[in-house]
Chain A
């Protein structure tokens, strides 16, 4: 059934379009305009402006990942309890928004959260003080949670659905209460899903430049914005590549930390 050589086209493709391109980033990041070796582009992360963008991205990504997890876990449990069949309609309803262009959906939040937006109209109508949300870090967190929530719900749901009801019942029979059962049986068994969800939310949140542009009003710079500008408006590819190298190191570190909590390294997407 098949030969090893069937994988050859893909392996060649991966080398050409993944490995060599990554090597290009390393090359550009460690050289200057004349092609001479330099560490300046990587060290540029230490400048106040860049360091601030990096810490801000890290902070916002951590906060939105935590919020996503807190919102998604109960949601995944509820979805499990009401859907006996994996392909039931209610699960589709939670995936469906992903089929509408994510840029447009984020744009729509701009409309809702803006100063004369729907949120403030409702608050005014209720006689409550209006709030300034748009163009703050709060709006960016809001957008991240919105955009990436499905990526947290799905892996957790996919793991929960596989945990046999017998395990939960066994724990209850042996005298564990609901809270104990959750923390000692359900949660540990669902860790692969949690870990996979965290990766799928944290990495895009940490590296986005779209959400900060749309909801941060272009004044709040994340590391993604700095890199994007280095390539588009600044046209300093060496600097952009150097900063991307730093970003990749951060992603690798966070994955190494997460891998500790998922010994099997299973992928549950």
Chain B
């Protein structure tokens, strides 16, 4: 009885989470452009996708921003962790407190504060400003996932390597970095995901003509979204799904990738 109720609850929640996704997948195969009328099965939106330069451009911008901002944030964040780890209590508390600001603050406030700052210092809003903004809100996620890993790392091992004649740089890359890797990787993935899905901060910091998928969708909402966008999301969703299944089917060490 108790188990049955658990199962029912689980299925209901899954249905709740996946209902809109199913709707989008179904609509991507809808011949009609309408969101409520089924006009028959069609692949035309998928065909349209490969010639729709507006969507492809937005996809390219989104991916570049996500990749570059996650990569820069990962380097900046990992270095920062090594430094913060060496700090005394007070400066460490101050830096970690600062680190929490972008995570805890409202996105809209982060977005407008960056916009005001760019404009005040005469930096024209463009692709670059979006990138800077994304790096800013990404670093805290990297720090939060690398820091716990660094605390578990034994300093003795590093010292042993140095005692045995390794240069500090060599010891770092051979001993410390492999230990931190799961944290770094999960930080990178988190940053990438946050950047990919961001709308609010991009909305305020983007220049004219710069569109990510999110801002393109938002601007199309009133005119009615072209189902090509559903086709793209379906493809993206299916790729992530396949990737996750592949990662999960492969026997995995506990604590890999996503902690």
Could you list which residues of chain A lie within 8 angstroms of chain B, going by C-beta atoms? Answer: 1-11, 13-14, 17-22, 24-25, 28, 71, 74-75, 78, 81-82, 85-89, 92-94, 96-112, 114, 116-118, 146, 149, 199, 203-204, 206-210, 213-214, 224, 227-228, 231, 237, 240-241, 244, 247-248, 251, 255, 267, 269
In the complex, which residues of chain A have a beta carbon less than 8 angstroms from the beta carbon of B85? Answer: 1-2
| Contact, CB under 8 Å: B221 / A107 | yes
B99 → A minimal CB distance (Å): 7
Task: Please pick, from B76, B87, B107, B233, the residue contacting A101 in the complex, using a CB distance under 8 A.
Answer: B233
Contact with A along B8-42 (1 / 0, CB 8 A): 01100110111111011001000000011000000
Minimal Cβ-Cβ distance residue in B for A8: B83
Task: Jot down 24 A-B pairs with beta carbons below 8 A, ordered by A.
Answer: A1-B82, A3-B83, A3-B86, A7-B79, A7-B84, A9-B76, A10-B95, A17-B132, A17-B136, A21-B114, A78-B9, A85-B254, A86-B259, A87-B248, A87-B252, A87-B258, A101-B213, A103-B221, A207-B106, A208-B108, A209-B200, A228-B108, A231-B204, A241-B116
Could you list which residues of chain B lie within 8 angstroms of chain A, going by C-beta atoms? Answer: 6, 9-10, 13-14, 16-21, 23-24, 27, 35-36, 76-77, 79-80, 82-87, 95, 98-110, 112-117, 120, 132-133, 135-136, 139, 144, 153, 155, 158, 168, 172, 176, 193, 196-197, 199-200, 204, 213-214, 217-218, 221, 225, 229-230, 233, 236-237, 240-241, 244-245, 248, 252, 254-259
- The secondary-structure label for the interface of chain A is helix
Task: Please pick, from B13, B107, B115, the residue contacting A231 in the complex, using a CB distance under 8 A.
Answer: B115
Minimal Cβ-Cβ distance residue in B for A225: B108
Given A18-B101, A96-B244: A251 in contact with B106 (beta carbons within 8 A) = yes
Which of B101, B108, B230 has the most chain A CB atoms closer than 10 A to its own CB? B108
Total A-B contacts with CB atoms under 8 angstroms apart: 236
Given A1-B82, A112-B20: A99 in contact with B106 (beta carbons within 8 A) = no
In whole angstroms, how far apart are the Cα atoms of A89 and B19 in the complex? 19
Given A13-B139, A21-B116, A224-B108: A87 in contact with B80 (beta carbons within 8 A) = no
| Contact, CB under 8 Å: A10 / B108 | no
Given A74-B9, A78-B9, A114-B36: A97 in contact with B106 (beta carbons within 8 A) = no
Given A17-B117, A231-B115: A89 in contact with B248 (beta carbons within 8 A) = yes
